C-alpha cells in the first residue's frame, strides 16, 4: 500500500514537472511572439540614390495671325507641382538577429515582398506605440498649415490629395493593427494612369507628427512602366518663393 502511495506521489510530481516545463515553453514562445510583433520599424541600413529627375519645360508654342484680325484660342498646359515630390524604389534585405552593437549571430537574407516604407518630416523618434490613422479635419489640416498647403481654392492640399474613406489593405505597425479602409489614402499611378488597387499609401499620426506609409509591392509595374517595390508622394513646403527642400526621414518595416 505504501509503495502504491509513493508511486502515485512520484507520478504526480512528474506530471507537475511536465506541466511546469510546458508552461515555461509556452510562456517563452508568447514572449518571443510579443517581441517579434512589437518590433518597431527601423531606419534603412543604406540609402542609395539611383536617379532624381523632373519634368523638362516645353518650348514656346507659335501662334500667328494677320494684322487686323482677332484670334480666339484654347491653350492646354501642365505645370510641375512643386508642392509635392515622390519617392520610388526597391527594398532589399532580410531578417537578422543582432545585439546592441550591431554584431550578428544569424541572418535570414533574401528577397522580402511584404512590409511598408514610412516617411516623416520628424527627425526625432516616432512614438510607434501611439500610431493611428491621421484625421483629415485635424492632423492633416494642421500639416496643410505647417507646409503652406492650406489654400482652399487649390485641389492639391494634403487633405484633398488623401481621400477618406480610402481603399487600402489592413496591416500592422509595430504590432498595432491598422484596419482596412480606415485611413486617408491615395494610390500613385500605374503605367501613367490612375488606379486604386496597387501602391497604396496612407497617412498616419503618432499624436505629434504625420507619418506617410506605403505598403510594399513585389517588383510591380509602376507609374512609368518600370517595376518598383514602392511608390509614395510626400508634400513639400508650398510657401511662395520657397526654393529649398524639406528633408524626410525613412523607416522600413519587413514582415
CA distance 80 to 240: 15
Q: Both 92 and 215 in a single domain?
A: yes
Q: Both 15 and 99 in a single domain?
A: no
Domain that holds residue 11: 1-37
15 beta partners: none
Higher-confidence residue of 206 and 28: namely 206
Q: Give the pLDDT confidence of 212-226 residue by residue, as tens digits.
A: 999 999 999 999 999
pTM score: 0.80
Structural domain contains residue 215:
yes
CA distance 78 to 203: 27
Q: Both 131 and 241 in a single domain?
A: yes
Structural domain contains residue 57:
no
Structural domain contains residue 45:
no
Q: Both 122 and 247 in a single domain?
A: yes
Q: Give the pLDDT confidence of 123-153 residue by residue, as tens digits.
A: 999 999 999 999 999 999 999 999 999 888 8
Q: Give the pLDDT confidence of 7-28 residue by residue, as tens digits.
A: 555 555 554 454 444 444 344 4
Contact of 92 with 232, CB cutoff 8 Å: no
Q: Both 99 and 155 in a single domain?
A: yes
Structural domain contains residue 204:
yes
Q: Both 160 and 98 in a single domain?
A: yes
Q: Is the preceding peptide bond at 113 cis, omega within 30 degrees of 0? A: no
Structural domain contains residue 187:
yes
Higher-confidence residue of 198 and 17: namely 198
Strand (E) positions, 23-167? Answer: 84-89, 94-98, 104-109, 115-120, 132-133
Q: Residues 59-77, buried b or exposed e (16+ Cβ, 10 A)?
A: eeeeeeeeeeeeeeeeeee
Give mean pLDDT, residues 194-223: 97
Q: How many domains does the chain have?
A: 2
Of all residues in the chain, the percent with pLDDT exceeding 90 is 64
Structural domain contains residue 42:
no
Give mean pLDDT, residues 62-70: 94
Q: Both 25 and 105 in a single domain?
A: no
CA distance 55 to 118: 25
Structural domain contains residue 247:
yes
Higher-confidence residue of 47 and 130: namely 130
Q: Both 126 and 208 in a single domain?
A: yes
Structural domain contains residue 44:
no
Strand (E) positions, 110-226? Answer: 115-120, 132-133, 171-173, 176-178, 185-187, 200-205, 210-215, 220-221
Q: Both 98 and 213 in a single domain?
A: yes
Q: What is the mean pLDDT of the chain?
A: 86
Contact of 215 with 136, CB cutoff 8 Å: no
Q: Both 126 and 207 in a single domain?
A: yes
Amino acid at each position: 500500500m505504501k509503495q502504491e502511495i509513493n508511486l502515485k506521489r512520484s507520478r504526480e510530481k512528474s506530471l507537475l514537472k511536465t506541466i511546469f516545463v510546458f508552461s515555461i515553453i509556452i510562456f517563452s514562445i508568447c514572449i518571443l511572439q510579443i517581441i517579434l510583433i512589437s518590433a518597431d520599424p527601423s531606419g534603412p541600413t543604406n540609402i542609395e540614390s539611383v536617379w532624381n529627375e523632373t519634368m523638362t519645360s516645353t518650348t514656346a508654342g507659335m501662334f500667328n495671325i494677320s494684322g487686323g484680325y482677332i484670334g480666339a484660342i484654347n491653350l492646354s498646359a501642365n505645370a510641375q507641382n512643386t508642392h509635392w515630390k515622390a519617392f520610388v524604389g526597391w527594398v532589399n534585405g532580410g531578417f537578422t538577429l543582432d545585439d546592441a552593437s550591431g554584431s550578428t549571430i544569424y541572418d535570414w537574407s533574401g528577397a522580402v515582398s511584404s512590409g511598408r516604407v514610412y516617411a516623416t518630416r520628424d527627425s526625432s523618434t516616432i512614438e510607434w506605440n501611439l500610431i493611428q490613422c491621421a484625421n483629415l479635419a485635424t492632423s492633416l489640416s494642421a500639416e496643410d498649415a505647417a507646409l503652406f498647403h492650406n489654400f482652399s481654392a487649390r485641389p492639391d492640399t494634403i487633405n484633398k490629395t488623401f481621400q477618406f474613406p480610402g481603399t487600402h489593405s489592413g496591416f500592422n505597425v509595430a504590432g498595432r493593427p491598422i484596419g482596412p479602409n480606415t485611413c486617408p489614402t491615395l494610390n500613385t499611378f500605374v503605367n501613367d494612369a490612375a488606379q486604386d488597387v496597387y501602391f497604396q499609401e496612407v497617412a498616419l499620426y503618432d499624436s505629434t507628427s504625420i507619418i506617410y506609409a506605403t505598403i510594399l509591392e513585389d517588383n510591380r509595374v509602376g507609374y512609368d512602366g518600370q517595376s518598383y517595390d514602392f511608390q509614395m508622394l510626400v508634400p513639400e513646403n508650398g510657401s511662395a518663393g520657397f526654393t529649398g527642400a524639406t528633408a524626410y526621414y525613412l523607416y522600413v518595416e519587413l514582415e
